[in-house]
Amino acid sequence: MADAINLTGLSTEELLRQMGDDLYDGLAAEVEAEVHECLRRGMTAYDVMTTGLVAGMDIVGIDFRDGILFVPEVLMAAKAMKAGMAILHPLLAETGAQKIGKMVIGTVKGDIHDIGKNLVAMMMEGAGFEVSNIGINSDADKFMGAIREHNPDIIGMSALLTTTMPYMRVVIQRLKDEGIRLDLIVLVGGAPLNSAFAEDIEADRYCRDAAVAVETAKKLMLIKREKAAA
Ligand code: B1M
């Protein structure tokens, strides 16, 4: 247990390994302490997130797939991950910059995975976007409601299951039916997706991770603004 370990005595590599072990064991308080220690050492919030929390969750995913971990244990790990993310959120989201665009993001219908989507939302906020995070299990009506309320430039959809990713096509079809598809940039992401799938469902881009989502959003916003100005 981390509280039995003097974290300051660990090398940064050992500290990150310990964070991964504690995340695996669902020890939220220990993960929080390790996140604080990484930040105290001057690591950026992004590096703590990717080399600590996300790397730890990757191991959970492998053992979940292989039947070594089960849903209750994965839920505990997810809770520990969220505890760590809560500390990093204000750091990732802090920006003095003027808002560069609006995004509505949600996990699609039938899917309750939200860690990756929340990470994307935080990074987008940090990059200067105004983000409305509509949560999990979002159907086309929920996306439409949020679009009417927030008038976004970008729609972000997340799916972690092969059974839920096809629902993204339903949302995009709804945007077409409502005559607003071409007004919006549609970005999709989630572990089972790829660029070919994004192209097939007529999304604008597949984003492999949160950093790519930010990069892509900025690039496509620039093109959108240039087109509007022309
Ligand atoms: Co689930 N689960 N799960 N699960 N779970 C997976 C996805 C799975 C791959 C595990 C495995 O078998 N190895 C597998 C899916 C298999 C498949 O469909 N191919 C699976 C399964 C089967 C299930 C259940 C069906 C299990 C069951 O009940 N029998 C069930 C489904 C429930 C449902 O949704 N209806 C289920 C449940 C759960 C928990 C509730 C226990 C928990 C979710 C908790 C939560 O999210 N609050 C959970 C977890 C934690 C996982 C794993 C282990 C980790 C997911 C995660 O958070 N990764 C996952 C294994 C894995 O993915 N390796 C697994 C960390 C996160 C930072 O990465 O989400 O990929 P990720 O996000 C990345 C990118 O993908 C991208 O950027 C993010 C950050 O860099 N990205 C976007 C994601 N969304 C984006 C949106 C964008 C852009 C980029 O928009 C612009």
- Residue 52 in tokens: 């600590």
Residue located nearest, by CA, to atom 78 of ligand 1: 116
Nearest to 212 by CA among 134, 78, 116: 116
Q: Of 160, 161, 184, which is best to mutate to test ligand 1, by the most ligand atoms within 8 angstroms of its C-beta?
A: 160
Task: Name the amino acid, one letter, at 91.
Answer: L
How far is the centre of ligand 1, averaged over its atoms, from the C-alpha of 225 (Å)? Answer: 34
What is the C-alpha radius of gyration for the chain, rounded to an integer number of angstroms? 19
C-alpha 124/C-alpha 203 separation (Å) is: 18
Residue 126, pLDDT score: 79
Residues near 216 by beta carbon (within 8 Å), at least 6 away in sequence: 187, 205, 207
User: Which residue reads 């607003």 in tokens?
Assistant: 180
**Cβ 162 under 6 angstroms from ligand 1:** yes
Residue 97, pLDDT score: 60
What count of other Cβ atoms lies within 10 Å of the Cβ of residue 82?
Answer: 16
C-alpha 183/C-alpha 69 separation (Å) is: 44
**Cβ 192 under 6 angstroms from ligand 1:** yes
Give the E-state strand segments of the chain in sequence order. 101-108, 129-138, 154-158, 185-189, 205-207
User: Which residue reads 């009506």 in tokens?
Assistant: 141
**∠169-170-174 over CA atoms, to 5°?**
115
Residue located nearest, by CA, to atom 1 of ligand 1: 113
Spans of the chain, pLDDT less than 70? 1-4, 95-98
Which H helix or E strand runs over 214? helix 210-229
Angle between helices 210-229 and 115-126 (to 10 degrees): 50
C-alpha 137/C-alpha 117 separation (Å) is: 12
Residue 50: phi and psi, rounded to 5, are: -80, -45
pTM given for the model: 0.91
Residue 2, pLDDT score: 44
How far is the centre of ligand 1, averaged over its atoms, from the C-alpha of 61 (Å)? Answer: 8
Residue 94, pLDDT score: 74
User: Which residue reads 């992401």 in tokens?
Assistant: 189
Q: Of 48, 64, 76, which is best to mutate to test ligand 1, by the most ligand atoms within 8 angstroms of its C-beta?
A: 64
How far is the centre of ligand 1, averaged over its atoms, from the C-alpha of 117 (Å)? Answer: 10
**Cβ 174 under 6 angstroms from ligand 1:** no
**Cβ 102 under 6 angstroms from ligand 1:** no
